[in-house]
Amino acid sequence: MSLETTYPAGGVFVRSGKLVFWLVMLAALAAFPILTTSAYSLSTLTEILIFGIFAMSLDLLLGYTGLISFGHAAFFGVGAYTAGLVAIKIAPNMLLTMAAGIVVCAIAAFVIGFFSIRAAGVFFLMLTLAFSQMVYAIAHQWTWLTGGSNGLAGIPRPNLSVPSLPIEFYDPTKFYYITLGIFVISLLLLKRIVSSPFGHVLLGIRENEGRMKAVGYNTRNFKLAAFVIAGAFGGLSGVLYSYFNGFISPSELYWTMSGQVMVMVIIGGAGTLVGPVLGAGTILLLQNIVSSNTERWPTIMGMVFIFFVLLARNGITGLLDKVWHGARSQVWKH
Amino acid sequence: MEALKVEKLYKNFGGLQATNGISLKVEEGERRAIIGPNGAGKTTLFNLISGELKPSAGHVFLHDQEITGLQPHQIAAKGLARTFQRNNLFLGLSVFENVRIAAQQKNGISSKLLSPASSFRDVNAETEEILETLALGDRKDILTKNLSYGEQRQVEIAIALATRPKVLLLDEPCAGLSPTETTMLTGMIKRMPNDITILIIEHDMDVVFALADRIAVLHYGEVLAEGTPQEVKANKVVLEVYLGEEVSNART
Amino acid sequence: MSDTLGFYGIQFLNGMAYSLLLFLLAMGLSLIFGMMDVMNLAHGSLYMIGAYVGLFFLGWTGQFWIAVVLVPIAVGIIGIIMEASLLRPLYRRGHLDQVLLTFGLSFVFMDMVKWIWGADIRSLPAPPGLAKSAIIFGRSFPEYRLFVIVIGLILALALWAFLERTRLGAVIRAGVADKEMVSGLGINITLVFTLVFGLGAALAGLSGIIAGPVLGLYPGMDFETLIITLIVVVVGGLGTLKGSFWGAILIGQAQTFGKVLVPDFALLIVFVIMAIVLLARPSGLFGKEAA
Among A47-61, A169-183, A272-286, B238-252, which stretch is predicted with the lowest mean pLDDT? Answer: B238-252
Three-state DSSP state, B91: coil
Q: Is residue C224 part of a domain?
A: no
Per-residue pLDDT tens digits for C127-176: 888 888 888 888 888 999 999 999 999 999 999 999 889 888 888 888 77
What distance in Å separates residue A232's CA from the closest CA in chain B?
15
Task: Write out pLDDT tens, residues A19-42.
Answer: 788 888 899 998 898 888 888 999
Once rounded to an integer, what is the mean pLDDT over residues B70-90?
94
CB distance A216–B77 less than 8 Å? yes
Indicate the residue type of C12. Answer: F
Q: What angle do CA B81, B84, B87 make, to 5 degrees?
A: 125
Instruction: Flag whether residue B72 sits within 8 Å of chain A, measured between CB atoms.
Output: yes
Confirm or reject contact between B214 and chain A (CB < 8 A). Answer: no
What pLDDT does A328 receive?
55
**Domains in chain C: how many in total?**
1
Residue C243 lies in a domain: no
In a domain, C229, yes or no: no
Do A216 and B82 count as a contact with CB atoms less than 8 A apart? no
| Contacting residues for B66 by C-beta, under 8 A, at least 6 apart | B59, B60
Given a cut of 50, whether residue C290 has pLDDT beyond it is no
Helix, strand, coil content of chain A in percent (nearest 5): 75, 5, 25
Q: What's the pLDDT at A3?
A: 35
The answer to the question of residue A233 being in a domain is yes
Q: Do A215 and B160 touch (CB under 8 A)?
A: yes
Confidence grade of residue A275 (pLDDT, cut at 50, 70, 90): very high
Print the domain residue range for A83.
41-254
Over 70: is that where the pLDDT of B198 sits? Answer: yes
Q: What are residue A172's DSSP bridge partners?
A: none
The predicted structure's pLDDT at residue C2: 63
Instruction: List strand residue ranges (DSSP E) for A14-54, in order.
Output: none
The model's confidence at residue B54, banded by pLDDT at 50, 70 and 90, is very high
pLDDT tens figures, A102-145? 999 999 999 999 989 988 777 888 889 888 988 998 898 888 88
Q: What is the pLDDT of residue A163?
A: 58
Cα dihedral across residues A318, A322, A325, A327: positive or negative: positive
Classify residue B139 by its DSSP letter.
Answer: G
pLDDT at B243: 56
Q: Which residues of C touch A120 (CB under 8 A)?
A: 291
Q: Please tell me which residue of chain B has the smallest CA distance to A191.
A: B114
Contacts of A12 in chain B (CB under 8 A): 141
Tell me the pLDDT band of C109, cut-offs 50, 70 and 90: very high
First-residue to last-residue Cα distance in chain C: 47
For an interface test with A, give the residue of B73, B74, B159 to mutate (most A CBs within 10 A). Answer: B73
Residue C90 has pLDDT above 90, yes or no: no
Of the pLDDT bands very low, low, confident and very high (cuts 50, 70, 90), residue B28 is very high
pLDDT value, residue B142? 94
What's the pLDDT tens digit per position in A281-321? 999 999 999 988 888 988 999 999 999 999 888 899 888 88
> How long a stretch of residues is chain C?
291
Q: Are A7 and B101 in contact (CB < 8 Å)?
A: no
Say what the pLDDT of residue B245 is: 56
How does residue A5 score in pLDDT terms, banded at 50, 70 and 90?
Answer: very low
Nearest CB partner across the interface for B105, out of A12, A206, A217: A217
- Cβ contact C115–A299 (<8 Å): yes
- pLDDT for the residue B172: 94
Residue A33 lies in a domain: no
- Which chains have 3 or more CB–CB distances shorter than 8 Å to chain C? A
**Domain span holding position C160:** 2-219
A215 and B163 in contact by Cβ < 8 A?
A: yes
Phi, psi for residue B170 in degrees, rounded to 5? -110, 115
**Tally of domains within chain A:** 1
Is the CB of A10 less than 8 angstroms away from the CB of B141? yes
Q: Does residue A247 sit within a domain?
A: yes
Neighbours of chain B (3+ CB pairs under 8 A): A
Who among B96, B102, B143 is closest to A215 (CB)?
Answer: B102
Mean of per-residue pLDDT scores for chain B: 90
- Arithmetic mean of pLDDT, A215-242: 97
Residue in chain B lying closest to A188 (CA): B114
Does the CB of B110 have a partner CB in chain A at under 8 Å?
Answer: yes
Q: Inform me whether the pLDDT recorded for A332 exceeds 70.
A: no
Taking a contact as any Cβ pair under 8 Å apart, which residues of chain C between 171 and 200 contact chain A? Answer: none
Interface of A with B (CB under 8 A): 6-7, 9-12, 189, 192-193, 195-201, 203-204, 206-208, 210-219, 222, 225, 330-331
Map residue C118 onto helix, strand or coil. coil
Question: How high is the pLDDT of residue B242?
Answer: 67
C9-56 residue pLDDT tens:
899 999 999 999 999 999 999 888 888 888 899 999 999 999 999 999
Q: Is the pLDDT of residue A14 over 50?
A: no
Residue C282 lies in a domain: no
- Give me the residue from A122, A131, A296 closest to C111, CB to CB: A296
Decide: B175 and B88 in contact? Cβ < 8 Å. no
Q: A165 pLDDT band (50/70/90 cuts)?
A: low
Count of CB atoms situated within 10 Å of the CB of C160:
15
The mean pLDDT value for A164-174 works out to 71
Place A11 in a pLDDT band, splitting at 50, 70 and 90.
very low
Task: Check residues B184 and A331 and name the one with the higher pLDDT.
Answer: B184
Handedness of CA B40, B42, B48, B49 (dihedral sign): positive
Q: Which residues of B touch A195 (CB under 8 A)?
A: 116-118
> Which among A112, A123, A265, A267 is the top mutation candidate for probing chain C, defined by the most C β-carbons within 10 Å of its own β-carbon?
A123
- Compare B148 and A169 and report the one with higher pLDDT: B148
Question: What confidence category does residue A48 fall into, taking pLDDT thresholds of 50, 70 and 90?
Answer: very high
Nearest CA distance, A227 vs chain B (angstrom): 14
Model pLDDT for residues B199-222, shown as the tens digit of each residue: 999 988 889 999 999 999 998 888
- What pLDDT is attached to residue A284? 95
pLDDT digits over C216-264, tens only?
999 889 988 998 999 999 899 887 888 999 999 999 999 999 989 988 7
Select the residue of C97, C267, C291 nearest A120 (Cβ to Cβ).
Answer: C291
Q: How confident is the model at residue A268 (pLDDT cuts 50, 70, 90)?
A: very high
B68 touches chain A (CB under 8 A): no
Residue A333 has a pLDDT of 45
- B160 in A contact zone (CB under 8 Å): yes
Chain C nearest-CA residue for A266:
C100
Distance of alpha carbon A320 from alpha carbon A11, whole angstroms? 18
Q: Name chain A contacts of C231, Cβ cutoff 8 Å.
A: 130
| Pairs across A and C, CB distance < 8 A | 104
Q: Torsion over CA of A8, A12, A16 and A17, rounded to 10 degrees?
A: -60
Res A10: pLDDT: 37
Q: Quick check: is A187 in a domain?
A: yes
Q: Do the chains contact at A310 and C101, CB–CB below 8 Å?
A: yes
Q: Are chains B and A in touch, 3+ Cβ pairs below 8 Å?
A: yes
Pair C79, C28: CB distance under 8 Å: no
Contact B137, B128 (CB under 8 A): yes
Contact between chains at A9 and B110 (C-beta distance less than 8 A):
no
Contact C234 A126 (CB under 8 A): yes
3-state helix, strand, coil in chain B (%, to 5): 40, 25, 35
Going C268 to A76 to A66 to A192, the CA torsion angle's sign is negative
- The mean of the pLDDT values for chain A is 87
Cβ-defined contact of A330 to B116 (cutoff 8 Å): no
Q: Confirm or reject contact between C39 and chain A (CB < 8 A).
A: yes
**Nearest-Cα residue of chain A relative to residue C263:** A141
Residue A209, in any domain of the structure:
yes
Interface of A with C (CB under 8 A): 68, 70, 115, 118-123, 125-127, 129-131, 133-134, 137-138, 141-142, 255-256, 259, 262-263, 266, 295-299, 301-303, 305-306, 309-310, 313
Q: Do A10 and B143 touch (CB under 8 A)?
A: yes
Percent of chain C with pLDDT over 90: 51
| Cross-chain CB nearest to B94 (options A7, A212, A214) | A7
User: What's the pLDDT score for residue A162?
Assistant: 62
Report the alpha-carbon distance of residue C88 to residue C192 in Å, rounded. Answer: 12
Taking CA atoms, A199 is separated from A223, B110, C154, C243, in Å, by 11, 9, 54, 38
Q: How confident is the model at residue C282 (pLDDT cuts 50, 70, 90)?
A: confident
Closest CA to B164 of C129, C204, A215, C110: A215
Tell whether A93 is covered by a domain. yes
Residue among A123, A131, A309 whose CB faces C291 most closely: A123
Residue A16 has pLDDT above 60, yes or no: no
Average pLDDT over residues A189-196: 96
Identify the pLDDT of residue A334. 44
